[in-house]
Amino acid sequence: MAMTSFNISLSDTMKEYVESRVSQGDYGTPSDFVRSLIRRDKERRIAALEDELLEALDSGVIEVSQDELTGGNLVEILRARSA
């Protein structure tokens, strides 16, 4: 996997917090800490999406036309239909 650089700005308090997590041995580097946060956020969002899709399925039949799928976002369509 190729790695690229991505600079972010943090307040002094946040920077100190990240550095303390690294110095405690929780993470090898500040980048490891940030990557971990991103992975957890991604997993949380996927889990929430799966829950929404299961709720939509449990709520009954939801029909989606080919035209809607062509121009739309399936998740948004299912959210609107299950509301």
Per-residue pLDDT band for 74 (boundaries 50, 70, 90) equals confident
d(CA 77, CA 74): 5
Domain ranges of the chain: 12-82
d(CA 17, CA 61): 48
pTM above 0.75, yes or no: no
Six token digits for residue 21? 């997590």
d(CA 16, CA 10): 9
Tell me: the pLDDT tens digits for 1-48?
788 998 999 999 999 999 999 999 999 999 999 999 999 999 998 888
Distance of CA 79 to the CA centre of its chain: 17
Distance of CA 73 to the CA centre of its chain: 17
Pairwise pLDDT comparison (56 vs 10), residue with the higher score: 10
